[in-house]
Chain A
Amino acid sequence: MANRWKNTLTERDITPEAAYLDRRRFIGAGIGLGLMGLAGTARSETLEPNPWEDITQYNNFYEFGTGKDDPARNAHTLTTDPWTVRIDGLVDKPGEYAFEDIMNAMTVEERIYRFRCVEAWSMVIPWNGFELADLLAMAGVQSGAKYVAFETLYRPEEMPGQRFPVLKWPYVEGLRLDEAMHPLTIMATGIYGKDIPNQNGAPLRLVVPWKYGFKSIKSVVRITLTDTQPPTAWNTALGSEYGFYSNVNPQVDHPRWSQASERVIGGGLFARKQPTLMFNGYEEEVASLYAGMDLRENY
């Protein structure tokens, strides 16, 4: 099931960071613009990944504080080894899966995705990870399963933010089964070919690139297959602002701010905003999942 989706940069299978930076300069010189002009679909568009520092120093991970630089500062306290993921609910083989065993069974590939936060900022991140569908297949999804529930580690002694009731801990998220099985949906275990840093959700986190960032739950310890829609952390905290679906949609504003445009992190003090794309640019791949649904109702 691995490698079901490709983006244009994957011909350099594992790209060293220096090569990305070279590419950055290359595009900066304007030579890349011609290529970008030819881009007709999201798939063939050339994505320029943000540098490592943007990705690892500007984070929302409220378990380590609500400031953007808090996770990078505080997440070193997190123990990620040993790590087990409990997979349970409507599966054939429920149990505790050790992280090493998962990694031995999975095919890790590189996925360069746009990442759009509900707060109207964005990055491009070169993840390394495996398809969630493969992990679910390993546990054997039963026919009655309709949803997948996820849970983040709850360990206040290592996650100082959990001592404050900013959200109901542990952080939980959920997907419809077809969203979870979609080839774009991955469990990320690395960035730029390195192990994923704690502040980005080590040792493994969900990445659903067509949804707002908070759906991509970090440091996952439990995955439960259910037949009912599971509660999700931000929806529980403030249902009028954060829906279960939370698909990136420039036409449906957040009650407190517009979602029509976004600021790409790393542009400095005078960065221009860029228009937000429907389903974060993955419309071609995922729009069919929501055919016939009112996306304003199901925000």
Chain B
Amino acid sequence: MLAAKLNGWMRHIPVWAVWLVALLPVPALLYLAATGGLGREPIEALEHELGEIALKLLILGLCITPLRRFFGINLLRFRRALGLLAFTYVALHLLVWLVLDVQILSQIWADILKRPYITIGMAGFVLMIPLAVTSNNLSVRKLGPRWVKLHRLTYAAVLLAGVHFVMVRKGFQFEPLIYLAVIGLLIGLRFLPKQSRRVSKAVP
């Protein structure tokens, strides 16, 4: 079976390799931004690239459970890395916004309060902080079932990130709406009743 083969093959990929590959864009983007490779206005370009990578990683993280449930593909051992990588990119995205983009300290706080898309983006980031902090075995053990509950915040955070992306763009644009639709679909899959298996058992 394809899924079993894939699972067997995936077992050979160390988690650190995922980290390494997923972090490669950081030096690449910084180099491009510094040398004109990101166009005539590198600050905004860098900010947007980092944000979009973060969103992609968040969406990949949301794919893990449905892939296992519907296709039997088990990528569970990469999920923590994906989550933490997404958090890293969100933090970098935020850092570029703070240091290179807005610059003016008084305006940062005003923007967070006054600009809905920034408020929403910021809320998404804040929700991710407890998730990142508890992304270790000790927390999983200590929190027990509460850990699972806490990490449902992921759904809210990703949804906020998707809405943030839609709000940043001017006019009616497909790209951010496609992201938002994919996020909605992936979260929606969580609400599918899990009874199908039970039903098949009950009817022999």
User: What is the interface of chain A, defined by CB distance below 8 A to chain B?
Assistant: 53-54, 57-58, 62, 66, 68-69, 119, 121, 164-167, 234, 237-238, 253, 255-258, 260-261, 263, 265-266, 268-273
Among candidates A58, A119, A266, A269, residue contacting B33 with C-beta atoms closer than 8 Å: A269
User: What is the interface of chain B, defined by CB distance below 8 A to chain A?
Assistant: 33-34, 39-46, 100, 103-104, 107, 110-111, 114-117, 167, 169-174
7 contacts between A and B (CB under 8 A): A68-B40, A121-B41, A165-B172, A166-B171, A237-B172, A255-B115, A270-B100
Taking A256-B117, A269-B33, A269-B100 as known contacts, 5 extra A-B pairs with beta carbons closer than 8 A to each other, sorted by chain A number, are: A66-B170, A257-B115, A258-B110, A268-B34, A270-B100
Determine if A58 and B117 form an interchain contact, defined as CB atoms under 8 angstroms apart. Answer: no
What residues of chain A lie closer than 8 Å to B111, measured between beta carbons?
A: 257-258
Across the A-B interface, the 6 shortest Cβ-Cβ residue pairs: A58-B40, A166-B171, A54-B40, A269-B42, A269-B33, A265-B41
Query: Least Cβ distance of A276 to chain B in Å?
Result: 13
Query: Least Cβ distance of B42 to chain A in Å?
Result: 5
Determine if B115 and A256 form an interchain contact, defined as CB atoms under 8 angstroms apart. Answer: yes
Determine if A269 and B173 form an interchain contact, defined as CB atoms under 8 angstroms apart. Answer: no
Distance between Cα atoms of A164 and B39 in the complex (Å): 24
Determine if A68 and B41 form an interchain contact, defined as CB atoms under 8 angstroms apart. Answer: yes
Query: Least Cβ distance of A111 to chain B in Å?
Result: 22
Q: Nearest chain-A residue to B30 (Cβ)?
A: A269
What residues of chain B lie closer than 8 Å to A258, measured between beta carbons?
A: 107, 110-111
Q: Nearest chain-A residue to B40 (Cβ)?
A: A58
What residues of chain A lie closer than 8 Å to B174, measured between beta carbons?
A: 164
Whether A272 touches B100, Cβ cut-off 8 Å, given contacts A62-B171, A265-B40, is: no
Query: Least Cβ distance of A197 to chain B in Å?
Result: 14
Question: Taking chain A's interface residues, is the majority helix, strand, or loop, or is none over half, making it mixed?
Answer: loop
Distance between Cα atoms of A53 and B167 in the complex (Å): 30
What residues of chain A lie closer than 8 Å to B110, measured between beta carbons?
A: 258
What residues of chain A lie closer than 8 Å to B40, measured between beta carbons?
A: 53-54, 57-58, 68, 265-266
Among candidates A57, A237, A253, A255, residue contacting B39 with C-beta atoms closer than 8 Å: A57
What residues of chain B lie closer than 8 Å to A164, measured between beta carbons?
A: 173-174
Query: Least Cβ distance of B172 to chain A in Å?
Result: 5
Among candidates B34, B103, B114, B117, residue contacting A269 with C-beta atoms closer than 8 Å: B34
Determine if B39 and A68 form an interchain contact, defined as CB atoms under 8 angstroms apart. Answer: yes
Query: Least Cβ distance of B33 to chain A in Å?
Result: 5
Among candidates A66, A237, A263, A272, residue contacting B41 with C-beta atoms closer than 8 Å: A263
Q: Nearest chain-B residue to A164 (Cβ)?
A: B174
Query: Least Cβ distance of B158 to chain A in Å?
Result: 21
Determine if A261 and B104 form an interchain contact, defined as CB atoms under 8 angstroms apart. Answer: yes
Distance between Cα atoms of A253 and B114 in the complex (Å): 10
Determine if B103 and A69 form an interchain contact, defined as CB atoms under 8 angstroms apart. Answer: no
Distance between Cα atoms of A261 and B100 in the complex (Å): 14
What residues of chain A lie closer than 8 Å to B44, measured between beta carbons?
A: 121
Query: Least Cβ distance of A254 to chain B in Å?
Result: 9
What residues of chain B lie closer than 8 Å to A238, measured between beta carbons?
A: 170-171
Query: Least Cβ distance of A164 to chain B in Å?
Result: 7
What residues of chain A lie closer than 8 Å to B104, measured between beta carbons?
A: 261, 273
Q: Nearest chain-A residue to B117 (Cβ)?
A: A256
